[in-house]
Amino acid sequence: MCGIVGYIGTEQAAPILLDGLDKLEYRGYDSAGMAVYDGEKLQYAKARGRLKILRELTHDGAKLPGVCGIGHTRWATHGVPSDKNAHPHFNEAESIAVVHNGIIENYLKLKKMLAGKGYKFASETDTEVIAHLLDYYYKGDPMEAITKMMHRVEGSYALGILFRDHPGELYAVRKDSPLIAGRSAHGCLIASDVPAILKYTRDVYFIQNEEIVRMTDQELAFFTIDQDPIEKQATTIEWDVSAAEKAGYEHFMLKEIYEQPRAVLDTLNPRIREDRIEIEELGMTDEEIRAVKRLYIVACGSAYHTGVTAKYVFEGLARIPVEVDLASEFRYRNPILDEGTMVIVVSQSGETADTLAALRMAKEAGVRVLGIVNVVGSSIAREADNVMYTWAGPEIAVATTKAYSTQLIAEYLLAMRFAKARGTVTEEELAGMLLDLRRLPQQIELLLDHKEKLQRFANRYVAAKDVFFIGRGLDYAISLEGSLKLKEISYIHSEAYAAGELKHGTISLIEDGTLVAAVLTQEDLYKKTISNMVEVKTRGAFLLAVTNEGNTAVEKAADYVIYIPQTNKYFTNSLAVIPLQLFGYYVALGKGCDVDKPRNLAKSVTVE
């Protein structure tokens, strides 16, 4: 959530800041602003609303001349979205400027202390406390003021800081909110995420907790909170700049839906060698795998939904008990993390605040933690005992598609690896599953080739008020994701239910014309789910069915059927999700919604 960009160098800063903020729009925001040192003072502009308003206000940056600046896209947490609450924030003399991602948990206590010393506040934000606290401690040495501030504030923060009295320097600080730095041929940069600076450099430095960066136009220097110098190695970003561009697609979401065959293949290929599953990054022997008595899969949002799927796959194949937890619940429910427990945390960004907190809690309890993440060098990747990358490439749209699909693949592979080590599947069964896994990319392409039929169907439900998704077993897991995709980008009320629960209250919501999407990919549950479909149809529902090729019996109950290719029963969600993603996309498109940046949502939820 929120986005930070900073630049110091030989070129005009404001256009670079605007370009970087544009690449961070996917993180979600309600206002934007910049501060640039013009040779005499810190000039700034900020405005509520989309980045284009800030562009117009500054004439694409021309009205803020200078070669050193910081920029920000704000997601409101403390104080309503407004010009005065937008970042940057300043001390009273406007000689110190701050942009901030995160939440200062003790800001009220600090605000009271500072107010008692005569400081006046111009905004409702927690961030302004930082600017005044820096002013309180500043005696000519920025590093001293920053370190003293860090010792006083509690919470999470990534900061970009300018001191008017030190015009050739830009400072950055990080604690529990993502921050990177890089050096280009024309200066140095900071940002919340790689896309913001990839145009200028491929070599980035990942800032660790409680580290400080001091930047000049030619040098990056890193320090601990005690001001001790740190030697850091840059990470080279391999993916191409075009991966973060739309490449002719109307939206990033549609582009990323179409990138799923390649993303799935890229996640599979490094782990399948000569018809064997080899997950070197797991770092576990067969004996260590057999010693695991219980798995927890912990995640948020769509990543949590992959965990619901993975529970069925792990328990079915490896015969190991699995609990799936929302990270925001897991971290507060005092889970039993005893010997033989292993925790798998799943996150696209690797920075999800609740998931990261769950990871740290598990490590404190002394259990092994595996991270499944998409972003190399992210916090979860660094802090987990082992990390399994999904290789989806950059995902810009807020609503995840290809990251979800690659998380499923990683979990399938892990379940199969556990099953082999535990002796719960035969070599013949594993060979058959590997064959089905390798077919998935081509089968996904086949489903994408028929998007026009789904688009025509989706156009009929642009005005829908309520949509319900039902399924049993693995089909319930995919119903959760289908429902989330629709609601988060189209703003249509949508819910997913285990089909067997309909009679326990939910069926009272069905009325004439209500759309019910039924998923039937588990052959042994066909008849049960068809019975549930008939129940809602007799009450006036219109039935959309997603099922396997050959299950023509469903046509007696369904009004519209989408068939997916045959695959192993544990892998069907990788195919069933494709039409559900497209359905959500086309309904949102028909309603005129901002598909890539849905209201009130952010790509990476880095605050609690």
Catalogue the active-site residues. 2, 603
Q: Is the dihedral of CA 276, 279, 284, 289 positive or negative?
A: negative
Name which of 606, 601, 596, 599 is nearest 23 in CA terms.
596
First-to-last C-alpha distance (Å) of the chain: 11
Structural contact between residues 125 and 74, judged by C-beta atoms closer than 8 angstroms: no
Chain position carrying tokens 């007799």: 538
Question: How far is the C-alpha of 127 from the C-alpha of 147, rounded, in Å?
Answer: 16
Residue 136 exposure: Cα atoms within 13 Å on the Cβ side? 21
Structural contact between residues 388 and 410, judged by C-beta atoms closer than 8 angstroms: yes
For residue 88, whether the previous peptide bond is cis, meaning omega lies within 30 degrees of 0, is yes
Chain position carrying tokens 């795998």: 289
The structure tokens listed for 321 are 């008990």
The structure tokens listed for 260 are 């799923």
Question: How far is the C-alpha of 325 from the C-alpha of 587, rounded, in Å?
Answer: 30
Running DSSP on this structure, what letter comes out for residue 539? T
Beta bridge partners of 126: none
Q: What is the CA radius of gyration of the chain?
A: 25
Backbone angles phi, psi at 132, to 5 degrees: -70, -35
Question: How far is the C-alpha of 601 from the C-alpha of 462, rounded, in Å?
Answer: 21
Beta bridge partners of 342: 295, 368
Backbone angles phi, psi at 295, to 5 degrees: -110, 140
Three-state DSSP class for residue 460: coil
Give, to the nearest 10 degrees, the angle between helix 427-448 and helix 260-268.
160
Question: How far is the C-alpha of 51 from the C-alpha of 35, rounded, in Å?
Answer: 15
Can you list the positions of beta strands (E) in 49-179? Answer: 68-74, 89-90, 96-104, 155-163, 170-175
Region at 164 (left for phi over 0; alpha for psi -120 to 50; beta for the rest): alpha
The structure tokens listed for 34 are 């910049």
Region at 415 (left for phi over 0; alpha for psi -120 to 50; beta for the rest): alpha
Structural contact between residues 474 and 519, judged by C-beta atoms closer than 8 angstroms: no
Chain position carrying tokens 């069926």: 507
Name which of 407, 412, 417 is nearest 373 in CA terms.
407
Indicate the Cα dihedral angle 212, 217, 218, 224, nearest 10°.
-10
The structure tokens listed for 383 are 């802090």
Question: How far is the C-alpha of 439 from the C-alpha of 429, rounded, in Å?
Answer: 16
